[in-house]
Amino acid sequence: MFDGKFRRSVDATTAPVGRWLVRMGFSADVLTGSGLVFACATAWAIAVGLHLWAIVLLTLTGFHDLFDGAVAKASHRASQRGSFFDSVSDRVADAIILGGVAYYLTAHHHGQLVLLPFAILTTTFMISYQRSKAESLGLVAKGGLMERAERMILLGVGLLATPIFIPVLWIMLVLTAMTAAGRFWRVWQVAARPAPSTTSTLRARQHSRRLRRGLSRASRH
């Protein structure tokens, strides 16, 4: 939701902070890497039951993820390598944090409840994959109720009190599944529209080339 509807507002807010961080000597890769370190610390705090500390660490993880893009833009060093590193780090951080949740559930609950965070992780990865595949096909696949920022916020809410932790995880699973289903449906609808005719595009290019050749010949005469 934040990425789809409020991206411009978020970018406008983070840009001044990004410029300040650049002046302080930070780079986008450093923020991405340190964010992954904080994600590991968050997972540990969740696993051992230090949930208030986990909220603090999760917030710091989110700040690193929020500002690494702003730093890349402010330093004029945005690159495919940095984008790839950031995307992979986000997926690894998601897996580590939900692994910490799974460890906590294993230690404090019985039955198959440990499968809940893995179900959330599976639907989370499906959302990311749908966006990547759609963009590789030239389609847009952003937005939805439960993107990464919303998932981290909701997890933080669940960590506030033990009685609501598991219900919040179930809510997260339902909303994440709805987001995956909604994103699939939107891309399915767009992909069903007829693609631009390859023949007409080729004819237009050939016509443009003939025009350029004619102008070149005329200039010689």
3 is catalytic: no
Residue type (1 letter), 35: G
Instruction: Pull the structure tokens for residue 175.
Output: 């909303």
Q: 62-75: buried (b, 16+ CB within 10 Å) or exposed (e) per residue?
A: bebbbbbbbbbbbb
The catalytically annotated residue of 29, 68, 86, 90 is: 90
Cβ atoms of 187 and 139 within 8 Å: the answer is: yes
Please give the structure tokens belonging to residue 102.
């799974």
Terminal Cα distance for the chain, rounded: 60
Would you please indicate which residues are annotated as catalytic (active-site) residues? 90
